[in-house]
């Protein structure tokens, strides 16, 4: 639900394949609970799901690139 997951709303609007909920990590994964997973992508800390700022845009971009990589 993009009204609650702000980076999902962003990805829906810019994804070259259309509104695809499986093309990046969802906002709840950018929390302290998944810090180790996000650190692998160079993302530290976390943000609430309903925030959309420069850090959340970077999160959406990096996770979308990760999901699109080959092999």
Burial class (CB in 10 A: 0-12, 13-18, 19+), 27: buried
| Residue 61 confidence (pLDDT) above 80 | yes
CA 37 – CA 8 distance, rounded (Å):
18
3 state DSSP class of 68: helix
pLDDT of residue 54: 92
DSSP 31: S
- pLDDT per residue as tens digits for the range 11-45: 888 777 777 777 778 888 888 888 888 888 888 88
């Amino acid at each position: 639900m993009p009204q609650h997951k702000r980076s999902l709303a962003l990805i829906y609007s810019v994804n070259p394949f259309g509104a695809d909920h499986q093309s990046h990590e969802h906002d709840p994964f950018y929390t302290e609970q998944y810090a180790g997973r996000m650190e692998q992508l160079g993302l530290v800390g976390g943000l609430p799901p309903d925030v959309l700022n420069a850090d959340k845009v970077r999160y959406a971009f990096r996770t979308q690139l990760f999901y699109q990589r080959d092999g």
